[in-house]
Chains A and B, each alone.
Chain A
């Protein structure tokens, strides 16, 4: 081997060590082998079952419910936050808006706060402020709502908080996207009578297609991994009906101590995220409009 090549390999070595220790070894010598054991940390049982755990997952209605819940919350959150962010970005990216940076900061700050703390901010709102508001102004319907006691309301809180937090990120990307559209292009379209909503749907959306796809897929991949907000806000309750996949894995491993089953479920999560990512790469490399 050439001396130069050795130097390059030495440059890679430190990262490779950290990477192997943190990721490759736990994945290939931890998660994947663990998933083939019927392993309970509390009772100390550890028996090889091969694909037993995976077969059990197929008939695990709880797991499919959490999968369905994750997809449901994910889709609603992604659509809402992208739609709102797109509309806001359209107005905030106009060069003649005043106090632009302050207004932007208001929408963006929730995105840099840790999700657990964000969930707590809204916990205060739902658990204390809204009931207090209902009391003060004697609003009957608001008084009667138990935000975390009913599945539909608890789901609603998770969606509100997730949209609140993720909106800022999408907003930032869409603003950057809008700024890449040359103003001559929009002016030219205006000359041809293409203004207002028509200009948005016929000219700007097609031009921003790549930005939209990037944004959607980052949001979707994130949605599959949703953990912090439901964990800190509802902790999966009431009765586990607002559990996401990641939360289900966490409970399997750290509450019920079923390490083998938890690992098998986390392999399934990995496959789901991998599929989304591969589809993303396929699509983002195609749908781009040239100008």
Chain B
């Protein structure tokens, strides 16, 4: 697949169709890649494609199309981007919210077979911090990790998949200019939502306790917000000082306010890419809260984010028969 990617990118530069390409490059650590910005055909060899390409690259797009840049009469760049299914859904959302112009994008869609969760690799073989993984090699569904004492362990990729990649509904983007690999649409909606249904069954007190437990780990680094393509606000409510909505401390009430605010702002917009969960250095289970919103929006408005460019987002439309129980009867 990587050869195909390079070929397409090379052609795009040759035919002068893009100014910048955003893909993945070799990481400096095992089980990692790093977002890679390419500005010409010379650096294409840097590109890689493997099971560690977990960053959602759509997060970088709004930066190139800020209104203040337009005012300066600068021409917006034409950007090529490698998009997995989830990245593609984020791109749809950003286009719909008028943050990025479709005509300036060249989307190379890729059929993704899921990304590996580093923590799972670490926990699969070794107890925390006891052993350092120094290298990892991937070959036909297997991952060979090597520790500092040159011990090698072979693991199955499917057992290491990130939770968010399990039962993926959209492995390839729904809009693209070229698609690499064949899209295999899966309909495992129920399996995907099973964890939230399980959680919903728990008594209120228990759910509340879990929420408190999870958010109390927060150190207010805002990595969840910064990694999220949807969080493009010029000024976040958490940063505003006039009025000041939220205290600056890591006191539980401040953290809860921030997390609830951030999560609720994702209603009808979150595509469940898992970028926030992966970015969080403290391992907060953020997805259980964002996924609940996804389920609610589906149930109340029959809407799923990032699927179509035409359908109006639930927060931007009103229908007389919209359900309102969730406001009056929480």
Are chains A and B native binding partners rather than an unrelated pairing?
Answer: no
* Contact surface of B with A, Cβ cutoff 8 Å: none
